[in-house]
């Protein structure tokens, strides 16, 4: 079966601290991978997506960055967190050969910046 892992599940960090969120995918090769952020009670904002190792597309200018060091690993990072970085971060994958880009989501990481 195809599974998406995200960790940590919850995180509380002080303003100005660094961030590293990890997403790993099992059971599929060459997936498209995505990072979304969801503010409380709101829709999803696409932050980054990747179509392959080392290939990152950024959707929104911000103090976050993403990397894909391995085919099934997608990392979201920040050098210095802002209060506005608080939110629910979701990783998703889509199969490369799926023309309609149906996406499957991980369980999410809830980040609170204080």
CB of 73 to another protein, least distance (A): 18
Q: Which is nearer to another protein, 17 or 101 (CB)?
A: 101
Residues that bind another protein (CB under 8 A): 4, 32, 36, 41-44, 46, 49, 51, 59, 88, 90, 92, 94, 99-108, 110
Instruction: Give the whole-angstrom CA distance, residue 5 versus residue 27.
Output: 12
CB of 79 to another protein, least distance (A): 26
Token reading at 88: 């629910």
Q: Which is nearer to another protein, 16 or 52 (CB)?
A: 52
CB of 91 to another protein, least distance (A): 8
CB of 12 to another protein, least distance (A): 15
CA atoms within 13 A on the CB side of 72: 11
Q: Which is nearer to another protein, 49 or 74 (CB)?
A: 49
Token reading at 107: 């369980």
Q: Which is nearer to another protein, 83 or 97 (CB)?
A: 97
């Amino acid at each position: 079966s195809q599974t998406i892992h995200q960790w940590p599940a919850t995180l509380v960090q002080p303003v100005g601290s660094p961030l590293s969120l990890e997403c790993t995918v099992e059971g599929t090769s060459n997936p498209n991978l995505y990072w979304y952020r969801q503010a409380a009670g709101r829709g999803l904002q696409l932050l980054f997506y990747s179509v392959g190792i080392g290939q990152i597309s950024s959707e929104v200018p911000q103090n976050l960055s993403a990397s894909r060091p391995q085919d099934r690993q997608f990392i979201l990072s920040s050098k210095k967190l802002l209060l506005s970085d608080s939110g629910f971060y979701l990783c998703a994958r889509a199969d490369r050969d799926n023309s309609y880009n149906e996406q499957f989501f991980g369980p999410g990481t809830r980040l609170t910046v204080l």
